[in-house]
Structures are given as structure tokens and as C-alpha cells.
Structure 1
């Protein structure tokens, strides 16, 4: 197949070919970045929380009796909740992974690091210290959440305190590796929010923060044996997944029987799956919008390629007939239009590759999007090449069906 006739034909349609090439370039640049943004959103939405989510549900309780003993109230509530049919575990917690409400402490691996951070007036300076999320709850929190303890042990009953004067902690694997790189964190001491050492007695595999931040710190979390001591508390219940709705209704009724002087908002009664869905609602909506815009742009580009190819076939019917009359086969005609489309799309992809990085740089500046990985570009190129060949196939088949007798017709 000679490229010279194709290039000669394109040189006579510079404006039309250039406009289509520019459309392909813009499509390549936008679609590559859209797919990258979708991949980032999907990765975030599917982040493992570290907890066994299937059987978890929770309800919020806010006491309006300011004079009651809150610790005694929580203990009585938990005893009543554990008696609800279907409940296999019940604990009081201050917050949950993806629960939005987060407490955090500047945490250092040694007293020396803490002293340097205090002198620098920054816990985050030089990477000496980090600021992990802190979880507190009643006895049995690790088991109720379904956390995977990979080293050490759970808290003992005598280690739970009502205030912040804790002596032991359980760290997430990511936090342990950050504070003690290349070392065994078990048995080490951390300094969280003060100069008093807190001994590490356990390490869990994964534990997500209540409020996500940068990807590298989302798994920085630790558990304290710190009893919730507020009038407003979250009760976490574990049951069979199919029993969650029934358990929530019966649990709310039980709490009202134990103490009518409380508020249990309907919005605070939910399963963990519902809480997770609500947390990522904006992300899932954005994924849908990005998918719609990406497919819409590809569809418009395909229409442009098809429309232009149909126009050119109509214009070239006599020249196609002449080529057929002097020996060109249907396959030759089909390959002619496919090759012509391939050259135009390839030019658009080459320009689109540069535009993709320019657009990504703008997104990095305005929206803190990560740098576009290079492998998205060949994937985008393959998609556009395939789309171009499919879009031009119909007009090319019609061109191949032009009979040689058309060459004898007048212009």
C-alpha cells in the first residue's frame, strides 16, 4: 500500500484533517487524565478499613442527664445491648474508621525525638514524629471491630482508664514501620502528646483513620485503652449481616428502656456499610460524572471520525471507481481509508500526549492531583486507535463497495 497517495490526499484537505487531529489530541489528553482521576477515586473508595465490616452496626446515644455517672451508664448500656438476641459483641467507642470524627496526638518514637520536635515547635519537622489517629473504646474493641492482631496481645481489663493517662497502646502496622523502621516495634515505647512513655503491646495489620488525608498517612493509627467518658457515645454492635437492621431497632428500644433520658437520633442508627457509603458519596458521584464525560467525549470523537470519513467517501466516489477500474481490490480500498484514519489519529495522539502532561500539570497545581503515570498514555493511544478504526470501518466498507463503473460517470 503506497503512502504517497494518502499523504497527497491529506495535503489537499489540510484544514479538515488538522481539525480532526486536534479533536483526537484533546480527547487523548482529557481521557487519559479522566481515567487517571477515576483510578485514584476507585482506589480511595476501595481502601481497606482493617475492620470486619459485614456484621457491624452502630448507634449514637446522647444523655440529657448531666448528673449521671457516665462510666456506670455505659457499663449498664453495654450489658443490656449484649443481651439483645443476635448481638455477639457490643462496645462503646469514641470514633470508627471513616467515622470522620478524629482525635490525634503528635507521636514520637523516643524522648529525644520529642524534645527536638518541641524545640522546633513542630511535631512533623524532619519526619521525626507523626500525627496518627487515636481510637479509644471499652474492653473488647479489638475483637468487636474484627481487627487482625499480627503481633502482641489485646488490652487487659486492668489497663483501661477513664482519662488520657494510658500506659499501653496498640499500633497499626504502617505506624509501627514508620516509627521503628527495620525494628520490632513490639515492646518499644512511643511518646504521644507528652513526655510519658507508652509501651507498645500489640500491632494490628490494617487500621484506617476516621478522616482520610494523604495516602502515605491514611494507615497511621493506634488504639488506647481509654474509656469514652462523654454524654455522647457510639455503641458498636456485631451480629450476623442479615440481622443488623433488626438488632439496631431492638438495641434502640433497649437503651430507651434502660434510660429514657437520652436522645438516639435516627441518623445515628446505621450499619457500617451505610457509614462507609456516606463517607465516599462524593467520590462515587464524581466517578459517575467522570465516566459519563469520558464516554461522551469518546462518542463525540467517534462521530467526528465517522462523519468526516462519510464525507470523504462521497467526495471520492469517482476516484475510488477509477482505482477499482485500474485493478484496486475492495481490500485495497478498505486499507486505504483505514490507513488514512490511522495516520490522522496517530498525529492527534502524538499531540495529545504532550497536552495530557500539560493538563495534568495544571490539575496538580489546582487540585493536588498526583503526577500522571506514563503507562496511561499507551493505553489511551490503543483506545483511540481502536476507536478510530471502528469509526471508519462503516464508511470504508461503503467505499470498498463502490463499483468500477462509477469511473465512467461524469463528475
Structure 2
């Protein structure tokens, strides 16, 4: 019943209504895409590593004068670290997830698959897959908090000292993640223990490595977002380089004291060594540093989206207040001829609903166009269609809330105003 007078009123305020529609349209398009990008970043930041992060601390040592056998020095350091109060376990490891330090290698389930990969010059052939490689001394799995879901841990006689950088070591056993197992054996991912894989050095030499265990999850060193971030493998290779990375497991409340004690113990063992407090950090701190850019982007996008919504709400409320002031005499006349407060309230809400609804419909088209532009320029994923109705509902609800105060004020205009305004 109020549609005709609403449309008649809007025809007298075409430019103002059009500007508000455009503001709502651009807000809908930008906010919808901003929320999508925020969700993408949050998912990236909250990516599980597979480690027991709250109990883990890391100490980095760079022995430039380590000599010909750095592993012997590192093992002596490791023995000293294991004796520190509060240290539940410790291990010398190659790297950890989200460390920007990675070593990846390929694996194939058969020699035929190896030949097919070499012919195609790619591991994207059936029976082959790529994985990030982690290695460490005995106790690595316990220290990192990795849990076996099948098979066993490495035996003591399966560990081998690593070789200088650039040289590979042939090992007889390996532990893989469930993700890597699914890529190697998609038909029987739960039956990989005991199977042989031509992996890393053995891939080129034709020497198989037996899978002896499976862990639930161990993220790769970096986030690629290609769906293969859970493809990792652990090898019983003891890092043998001048740089050493020690992982210490303790209770969360003791991490700070354990790191300080570790730095003091390492410097005491070798007075010429200079291990500073900056060389020791909790895993949580290292992870936060890795995702610093993402968390900053989340904050910027969130602030931009909220700011844009605030400006839009302010525009809607301001325009509604202006129209209420302009139409005070008209509202009084309507009240005098029998319109109730509810009628006046519903009028302004319906009018706002038409303007915002038209803006939202245009905004949905702009949201898709903006997403296509971002996909082309920045290789971002496609905006899921279910974001569109959510964005539309959010902007429409914002419009109704923004117009509520002016509409309530209009509904309280008394009928006597009609005579006073004459």
C-alpha cells in the first residue's frame, strides 16, 4: 500500500537516492571481497603444523669453526641440553614447518613410475609425488609431538649421519604423512607400511626405501596453497652441517626459562661461540613471524571493511534524518488522518529497503566483477557464490539498523505538527 507514495517521493529525490544506491553497491562489492580475502588469510594463518607447538622451543647455533665433523659437536651440545631442568626431550633437527627452510624431493612407488616421471620430466604421473623432507636425531618425533597412526618409529641402527650440503644419503627406512601416503597409494592409503618407495637419493639410484611408519600430519616448510601442503616425509638422517637447529620440549610455562638455560649452557660449552637470546625462540613466536604479513593484511582488510560499513551506515542514517526533517509536515498530516506510529516507521523502513536493495543487487554484480579482476591480476581464488547472499543480507540489515533511529524519531511526530507548520 505504501509502494506508490514511496516511489513518488523517490522520483523527487532521484540524485540523492542514486548516490546512496551507488554507495551501497560499492560497499557491498568491496566488503564481500574483503571478507573473502580475510577468510582466506585466516585459514592460512591457522594452518595446523602437526607439531605440539605450545611445548616447543627452538635454538639455532652456527658454528663457523665446526671443523670436519660438526655432527660430533652438535651431539655433545644435544647431550648437554637434555640435562637441563625442565627439558622433557630434545633433538637435533633439519628444519620445522613455517621456517622458510625447506628441502623437497620426489618419490615413486615403482621403477616403472620412476621411468615415467623421467620421461615426462615431472612427478605428476601416477605413482609419484613430491614431499618435503625432514630429518633429525633419535627422539625427533617425541620432541616435535608427532603421533604415529601406523607402523613404528625408527630403530637405532637405521639412523645415519648426514653428508655435506648438496650430497644425499641413501636410507633404508622412512616415515611419511597420511597426505603423502594418499598421493603415493590413492587406492590403499591405509596400507602403506612395509611398502617400498624410490625416494630422494634412491629415486635416481634405483634404491628403494621402506615405509616403516605413518604420522597423521606434518606440514611442509612453507605454505603453497596447492593442496599438497600435507605431503612430508621423515628420514633417519642426523644433520651434519655447521648450522644446527635444536628443538626442546618442555611445559609451556617453562619455555622461557628453558631457552635462557639452553643459551647459557651452549655458550659455556664453547666460550668462543656467541649464541644470543635472539637465537632462541618459542615455536609459537617463529610461527607468528612467518605469518606476520598475513596478520597485517587481515588487520588492514578488517579495518577497511569496518570503516566502509561505518561510512555507509552513516550515509544511510544521515539521509534518513534529512528526509525526516524535510517531511515533518507531511508526517504530521499522515498522523492527523489516521496513520499510526507503526505506519510511519514501516514507511521509512520500506523506503530504505528499496534503496538499499537496489544498491545491493548492483553490488553483487560488482562483487563478481571485482573478484574476476583480482583473479586475473593477483591469481586469487574464485569468490564462492554463497558469499553473495551473505553480503547482500549483511548490507540490507545494516541499512535497516541505520535507518531505525531516524524512523523512530519520525514515528513520534505528533499530528498537531501539521497545523503548526501551516
TM-score (norm 2): 0.94
Query: How far apart are residue 68 of structure 1 and its match?
Result: 4.8
2:184 aligned partner: 179
Q: Deviations over 1:236-274 (max 9, x none)?
A: 111111111111111122122222343424322101111
Q: Is the 8 A contact 1:174 1:220 kept in 2?
A: yes
1:158 aligns with 2:163: no
Q: Out of 170, 178, 185, which is 2:175 matched to?
A: 170
Residue 264 (structure 1) aligns with: 275
Q: Tell me which residue corresponds to 2:374.
A: 363
Report the equivalent of 2:198.
191
Pair 1:404-2:409 in alignment: no
2:128 corresponding residue in structure 1 = 129
| Greater Cα offset, 275-284 or 112-121 | 112-121
Runs of 4+ aligned structure 1 residues displaced above 6 Å come to none
Residue 24 of structure 1 is matched in structure 2 by 24
Once the two structures are overlaid, the 10-residue window that deviates more, 355-364 or 67-76, is 67-76
User: Is 221-230 or 379-388 further displaced after alignment?
Assistant: 379-388
Query: Match for 1:339 among 337, 342, 350?
Result: 350
Contact 1:21 1:344 in 2 (8 A): yes
Question: Quick check: 1:65–1:261 contact (8 Å CA) kept in 2?
Answer: no
- Which secondary structure state, in structure 2, belongs to the residue aligned with residue 331 of structure 1? helix
Compute the displacement of 1:373 (Å): 1.2
Q: For residues 305-344 of structure 1, what are the alpha-carbon distances to aligned partners after superposition, in whole Å with 9 as ceiling and x for unaligned?
A: 0111111112111211221111111110110000000111
Checking the alignment, whether the CA contact within 8 Å between 1:174 and 1:206 is kept in structure 2 is yes
For residue 366 of structure 1, report the CA deviation from its aligned partner: 1.9
Q: Where does structure 1 lack aligned partners over 5 or more consecutive residues?
A: none
SS at match of 2:92: strand
User: Which range is displaced more, 401-410 or 266-275?
Assistant: 401-410
Q: Which residue of 1 aligns with 2:290?
A: 279
Among 211, 224, 235, the residue aligned to 1:213:
224
| 1:2-401 superposed matches below 5 A | 2-124=2-124, 126=125, 129-163=128-162, 164-183=169-188, 184-193=191-200, 194=203, 195-401=206-412
Indicate conservation of the 8 Å contact 1:57/1:270, yes or no: yes
Contiguous gaps of at least 5 residues in structure 2: 163-168
Query: 1 CA distance for matches of 2:254 and 2:71?
Result: 28
Match of 2:166 in 1: none
2 CA distance for matches of 1:256 and 1:127?
51
Kept in 2: contact 1:65–1:262 (CA 8 A):
no
Contact kept? 1:58, 1:269, Cα under 8 Å: yes
Is the Cα–Cα contact under 8 Å of residues 90 and 144 in structure 1 kept in the other structure? Answer: yes
> SS of the residue aligned with 1:44?
helix
Aligned residue for 1:337, secondary structure, equals helix
- Name the SS of the counterpart of 1:306 in structure 2: helix
Matches of 1:384 and 1:358, distance apart in 2: 18
Count of residue pairs brought into register by the alignment: 410
Instruction: Rate the CA distance shift 1:110–1:214 in 2: closer, same or farther, 3 A.
Output: farther
Q: Distance in 2 between matches of 1:368 and 1:130?
A: 24
**Aligned equivalents of 1:59, 1:102: Cα separation in 2:** 17
Task: Verify the 8 A CA contact 2:66 2:73 in the aligned structure 1.
Answer: no
Distance 2:376 2:228 in 1: 21
Deviation, 1:128, is 5.2
Contact 1:87 1:239 (C-alpha < 8 Å) held by counterparts: yes
Q: 8 Å contact 1:117–1:128 — kept in the other structure?
A: no
- Using a 3 Å threshold, how does the CA distance of structure 1 residues 144 and 410 change in structure 2: closer, same or farther? closer
